[in-house]
DNA sequence: TTGAAAGCGCTAACAG
DNA sequence: CTGTTAGCGCTTTCAA
C-alpha cells in the first residue's frame, strides 16, 4: 500500500503548521481568517500531492468515523437489497460510508454482528432486527448509540422507527377486494411473530368486520419463516377447498411461489381467484400475472431513515430531542386487476 | 455515544501497563511469556468491562483497518446482491468488515467512489469496474493497493481476476442447442463492450463454426446497457421473422423481459423456440418457463475473490508473488428442457 | 515477566 | 492571521 501524503507533508513543504493546513482543508479558511494566498497555496499543493485525509486518524480524533452500519436479514433478498441501494445513495449525500451485515433473521447472529460493529468504527446503525431483539435495542439506547429501526416495530421498546402503516395497508387491500365483489378472501402470511406482519392480518380482519362479514379461521393461514413451495401448495389447496375467491399474500416471496402454485393448479387469475401481494411488484412483473399490490416506498423510507439517523448523530452531544419518532411513510397501492 | 472502556482503563484498574494488557488481549500471552494469573485477571476484567478494541485506533496504528470495500454496478441487481451476500459471509470469516458502493456502471461514478474510499480506511477492494476503468485499475496497481476484479476482464491491464470462462460457456450453450437439433440459433446480448459479454458471443460463433454452420448476422443482436421491454420486443420480432428456433439471452434480465415478450407473442417454449439464459435460474424460476441456463457459481467466486484479496493484503509487505492471477471458476450448466 | 515512551495522522484549545 | 501543543486508543520497540 503506497503511503498517502499527510497533512504534515503539506505543512512541511510549505513551511507552515499542520493546524493551518487542517483549517484550510476543512473549509475553515474564512472562519479562521486565513489569507487567501496561503489558502490557495495549501489547496494547490494538496491537489498536487493527491492528498486524502486519513479517516482513521480523523475518526480517532473526532470520535466520528463517518461510517454507518446496516444490519438486515439478507442482502440477497431483493426487498432489502433495494433498501441497501437507496440507503447507500443517501448516506453518500451526507458523506457517510455504509457497512452492511446479514442477520439471516437470527437473533443471535444479529446480536453478534451488532456487537462486532459497536466499537467506535460506526457512528450509527440502520436495523431490521429479528424477532426477540428487544434487549439489543435497549442496550443500544442505554449506550446512547444512534440507531433507527426500519420496517420493524417493537412494542416493548420505544425507538426511532420508519415503516408503513401495515394495519392500514392490510385494511385497504382487503377493502379493495370486498369492493370488487370478493366475499371469501383468504390471506397467507408468514413470520406472524413479526409485528408488521401480524398487523397486516389485523387490518385484513378489521376490514372484514367493518364490512359486516366475519373472518373465517380456515382462510387465515400462517407459514413458518422459510417457506418452500410444497408447504404453500398445501395451504393453497386447502383454501381452494374452502372456496376462496380472493387471496392476499403478505410478502412477495409468498406471492411468487403462490402464483406458481395457482398456475400449476390451472387456477385463473383474477377470474377464479383475485390476487394481491405486499411489498413488491416483482410478483406481478416476474410472474406476468395480473395482480394488485401494496408497495412500500423504499426510496422514501430510506431517505427518512437516514435523515433521522444523521440528525441523531449530530445531536448526540446536545439535547436528546429526537427520541422515539415513529415515521409512517405512506404506502402505495398499485392496481392492475379489477 | 457511551464511552467504551479502553486498554488504559483495564491497565489502570489492574495497576499494570497498557502494554501488558495489549499483549494479553491480542493472544500474545504465550509468546510474551506473561504469567497465567496476570493474563486471567486481564481477560476477566476485559470481559467485565465489555471491552471492545477501538478499530480506528488499532487501524491508525497498524495501518490495517480490517475493512474491505465492494464497488459494484448496483446492489439492487440480484446478481450483485448475491455476490454481496457471499462476500460478506467470507469477509466476516476473516474478521473483515465490508463497505459497499454502487457505480451504476458509470466510469466516473466508479472512479469517484473508489477515490473516496482510498484513504487508509480500506485495506482492499473487490471491484466490478465499468467499461473504460483501465486507468483506475492501473492507478491502484501503482499505489500497491490490493484489489481483485470480479466478473470483469480487462485485456489491457493485468490484474487478479475471478470469473467464469465466458467463451466456453457461450460455446457450450450453443453446442447444446445444436445437439438438440436447433439450427437457427439467435443470441441477444447487451453491454457488448464488456469483455465477458463479447466472449459469450464469441463462444456462440465458435460453436456454430465448429459444427459447420456459419453464424448469421441477423441472428446476433446487441442491445444497449439499459434495455426496456419494447426494444427487446422489437429484436425478438425480428429474429422470429428470421425463423429462429433457438434463442440465447446473455443476461438474466434480458431473459426475464424476453420471455415476457415471447409469451405475449404466444410463442411456445421450447416447442417453437428453445431458450437459454446466462447468469441465473431466476428467469426460469420466476417466469416459470422451461429453459436451460449457464449459472455462475457466485458463492465459489466470492470465496476465491476473498481468498486472493486477503492473501494480497497479507503479502503487501513481503514478496509480491500474487500478481495477475486469473481464476476461472467452473460455471454450471443447468438443464431443464430438451 | 513487565513497563515507559514514542508515534500512527489528525483536530482543537490556547497562545501569540 | 498562524503556530504550539496535547491527545484520541492502540501497538511496538527497547529497556529493565
pLDDT 10s digits, B171-188: 999 999 999 899 999 999
Check pLDDT > 80 for residue B324. Answer: no
Q: Check pLDDT > 80 for residue B325.
A: no
pLDDT in tens, A250-299: 998 898 889 889 988 999 888 899 998 887 666 555 556 778 888 889 99
Average pLDDT value for residue range B38-50:
88
Complete DSSP assignment for B207-262:
HHHHTTPPP-GGGEEEE-SS--HHHHHHHHHHHHHTT-SEEEESSHHHHHHHHHHH
Q: Is the pLDDT at A92 greater than 80, yes or no?
A: yes
Residue B17 CA to residue A204 CA, distance in Å, equals 64
Pairing type for strands B147-150 and B161-163 reads parallel
CB contact under 8 A, A75 and B55: no
Average pLDDT over residues B98-121: 93
The mean pLDDT value for B294-319 works out to 86
* CA closest to D1 C1', residue: A34
B82 to chain A, any CB pair closer than 8 A? The answer is yes
- Beta partners for B277? B249, B293
For position B29, what pLDDT does the model report? 79
Distance of CA B43 to CAs A97, A116, B64, B127, Å?
A: 33, 18, 24, 39
Give the predicted TM-score (pTM) of the model. Answer: 0.91
The predicted pLDDT at position A317 comes to 47
A75: nearest CB among B81, B113, B146: B81
List chain B residues with CB under 8 Å of A78. 76, 78, 81
pLDDT above 90 covers a percentage of chain B that reads 60
Q: Please state, in angstroms and as integers, the Cα–Cα distance from residue B56 to each residue in A51, A282, B126, B237, B328, following that order.
A: 20, 41, 22, 58, 36
Question: Nearest 5°: CA angle at B98, between B114 and B7?
Answer: 110
Among A39-43, A266-270, B66-70, the range of highest mean pLDDT: B66-70
Grid coordinates representing B176 are 447444446
CA-based torsion, A44, A50, A54, A55: positive or negative: positive
- Residue given cell 496561503 in the structure block: A38
CA pair distance B321, B70, nearest whole angstrom: 23
Could you tell me if A88 lies within 8 Å of chain B, comparing CB atoms?
A: yes
Grid cell of A331 as nine digits:
404506502
User: Would you say the C-beta of B22 is within 7 Å of strand D?
Assistant: yes
| pLDDT range class, residue B2, cuts 50, 70, 90 | low
Distance from CA of B267 to the nearest CA of A (A): 15
Please report, rounded to whole angstroms, the spatial distance between the CA atom of protein residue B144 and the C1' atom of nucleotide D8: 29
Which residue in chain A is spatially nearest to B65 when comparing CA positions?
A56
> Which residues of chain B from 122 to 151 reach within 8 Å of chain A, CB to CB?
123, 142-146
Q: Is the pLDDT of residue B322 over 70?
A: no
CA distance B211 to chain A (A): 35
Angstrom CA distances, A172 to A201, A218, A292, stand at 11, 21, 12
Cα–Cα dist A226/A224, whole Å = 6
Beta bridge partners of A72: A102
Task: Return the number of other C-beta atoms located less than 10 Å from residue A30's C-beta.
Answer: 10
pLDDT score of A322 more than 80 = no
Cα(B275)–Cα(B219) distance, integer angstroms = 14
- Between CA B297 and CA B291 the distance in angstroms is 18
Distance, C-alpha A300 to centroid of its chain: 10
Question: What pLDDT is recorded for position A301?
Answer: 94
Mean pLDDT of B160-176: 94
The set of residues, in sequence order, having a beta carbon less than 8 Å from that of B125 and lying 6+ positions away, is B68, B69, B70, B71, B114, B117, B140, B145, B146, B147, B148, B309
Cα A74 vs. chain centroid, distance in angstroms? 11
| pLDDT score, position B257 | 86
Q: How confident is the model at residue A38 (pLDDT cuts 50, 70, 90)?
A: confident
SS3 A270: coil
Query: Is residue A85 less than 8 Å (CB to CB) from chain B?
Result: yes
Determine the average pLDDT of the residues in B320-327.
Answer: 62
Which helix (H) or strand (E) element contains residue A126?
Answer: strand A124-127
Amino acid at each position: 500500500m503506497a503511503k498517502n501524503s499527510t497533512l504534515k507533508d503539506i505543512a512541511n513543504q510549505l513551511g507552515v503548521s499542520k493546524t493551518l493546513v487542517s483549517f484550510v482543508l476543512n473549509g475553515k479558511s474564512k472562519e479562521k481568517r486565513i489569507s487567501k494566498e496561503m489558502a490557495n497555496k495549501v489547496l494547490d499543493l494538496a491537489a498536487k500531492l493527491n492528498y486524502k485525509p486519513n479517516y482513521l486518524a480523523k475518526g480517532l480524533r473526532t470520535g466520528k468515523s463517518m461510517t454507518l452500519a446496516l444490519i438486515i436479514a439478507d442482502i440477497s433478498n431483493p426487498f432489502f437489497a433495494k433498501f441497501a441501494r437507496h440507503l447507500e445513495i443517501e448516506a453518500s449525500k451526507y458523506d457517510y460510508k455504509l457497512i452492511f451485515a446479514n442477520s439471516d433473521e437470527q437473533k443471535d447472529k444479529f446480536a453478534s454482528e451488532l456487537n462486532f460493529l459497536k466499537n467506535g468504527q460506526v457512528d450509527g446503525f440502520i436495523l431490521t432486527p429479528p424477532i426477540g431483539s428487544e434487549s439489543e435495542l435497549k442496550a443500544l439506547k442505554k449506550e446512547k448509540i444512534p440507531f433507527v429501526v426500519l420496517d420493524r416495530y417493537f412494542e416493548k421498546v420505544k425507538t426511532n422507527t420508519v415503516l408503513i402503516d401495515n394495519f392500514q395497508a392490510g385494511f385497504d387491500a382487503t377493502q379493495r377486494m370486498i369492493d370488487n365483489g370478493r366475499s371469501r378472501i383468504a390471506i397467507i402470511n408468514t413470520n406472524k411473530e413479526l409485528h408488521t406482519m401480524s398487523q397486516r392480518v389485523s387490518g385484513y380482519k378489521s376490514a372484514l368486520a367493518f364490512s359486516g362479514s366475519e373472518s373465517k379461521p380456515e382462510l387465515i393461514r400462517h407459514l413458518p419463516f422459510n417457506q418452500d413451495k410444497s408447504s404453500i401448495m398445501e395451504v393453497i389447496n386447502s383454501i381452494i377447498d374452502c372456496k376462496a375467491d380472493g387471496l392476499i399474500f403478505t410478502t412477495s416471496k409468498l406471492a411468487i411461489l403462490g402464483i406458481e402454485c395457482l398456475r400449476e393448479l390451472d387456477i385463473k387469475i383474477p377470474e377464479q381467484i383475485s390476487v394481491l401481494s405486499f411489498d413488491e411488484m416483482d410478483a406481478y412483473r416476474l410472474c406476468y400475472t395480473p395482480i394488485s399490490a401494496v408497495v412500500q416506498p423504499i426510496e422514501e423510507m430510506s431517505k427518512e431513515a437516514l435523515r433521522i439517523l444523521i440528525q441523531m448523530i449530530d445531536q448526540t452531544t446536545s439535547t436528546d430531542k429526537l427520541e422515539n419518532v415513529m415515521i409512517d411513510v405512506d404506502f402505495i397501492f398499485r392496481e392492475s386487476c379489477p
